[in-house]
Amino acid sequence: MEIFLHADDFGANSEVSNNILDCGDKLYSLSVLANAPGLAHSLRLYKKRGCSAKLCLHLNLAEGESLAGKSMAPLLTDERGMFKLSFFRLLIMSYFPRRKALKKQIKREFALQTDRFLSSCEVNGIPRPALMRIDSHQHYHMIPLVLEAALEVMREKHLKIGFIRIPAEPLGPFIRTPGIWKTVRFINLLKNLVLNALAKLDRKILLPYRARTAVFFGIMLSGGMDKERVSALLPHFKEVARKRGLPLEILAHPGGCTSGFLDPANSGCVKFYSSKNRRVEKYMLTHLNL
């Protein structure tokens, strides 16, 4: 059984990217924010430091500047051209009458992010992936409309998907470790329940990709994947992965920073990147005994 140690948010800025690259060969894969202004520099760091982690496209509608811009994606952006929709607001909007216009703008944004990701790899001498690995910032792709848009973009660009994240984290491992269960934040439990419900709604769309995913570990402890709790839960997650005949993906966010945020006005994201928990998760990735 394979275990994937994975880091999100590569490319957000050079400090974030260097902190991720510090995890070295412990990382199996990392996700690239294609709308980040410092993407090219981060990919140069990736190559210079000899990183072998697989690159995933981190589709983003949550944070930073839209590549489509306010004129081409007004439903997604504020007056500055920055993404403005929270996960739940976008989920609600996706069921209202303007859903066709919303989907069109999402596809336009995802097409630009995909092109920028691939062209930036090529310009920096990084081989174009034969099979795309995709996920999304804050798991927006689990919203059915967003998932449809992402998959349609891949098909229209004749890109084959080798892996897609399905962040439907099983509750069983937490139920079996009551000491850990008591430490879970309520907001993370709520996220878990919502994402599992959306995974059921997405089941038909995701059917062709069921063998191209992994058992996911990274929601209930989201924002604080410390070594002690991850180690305690790991045997139970391994058991789930073995039974399902899938790899296990362990997600962390080791890329902390003190400046250069994608959107300084986004207080939630600024707080997340500058939290001491980024160092906690970096330690977990570099010291976890698999």
Tens digits of residue pLDDT in 216-247:
999 999 999 999 999 999 999 999 999 999 99
Quickly state the pLDDT bin for 128 (edges 50, 70, 90): confident
Would you state the pLDDT for residue 189? 95
Q: Kindly give the interhelix angle for 39-48 and 14-21, rounded to the nearest 10 degrees.
A: 30
Would you state the pLDDT for residue 1? 77
**Which two tokens mark 259?**
């400046």
Would you state the pLDDT for residue 108? 98
160 closest CA partner among 182, 130, 126:
130
Compute the mean pLDDT over every residue in the chain, rounded to the nearest whole number.
Answer: 95
164 bridge partner residues: 134
The mean pLDDT of 42-67, rounded to a whole number, is: 95
Indicate if the pLDDT at residue 161 is higher than 90. Answer: yes
4-15 per-residue burial string, b: 16 or more CB within 10 A, e: under 16: bbbbbbbbbbeb
Quickly state the pLDDT bin for 182 (edges 50, 70, 90): confident
Would you state the pLDDT for residue 181? 86
Domains annotated on the chain, with CATH? 3-165+200-210+256-287 (3.20.20)
Quickly state the pLDDT bin for 24 (edges 50, 70, 90): confident
The mean pLDDT of 105-124, rounded to a whole number, is: 97
Would you state the pLDDT for residue 244? 96
Task: Give the Å distances, CA to CA, from 36 to 10, 96, 138, 148.
Answer: 9, 30, 15, 23
Grouping H, G, I as helix, E, B as strand and the rest as coil, residue 181 is: helix
Quickly state the pLDDT bin for 37 (edges 50, 70, 90): very high
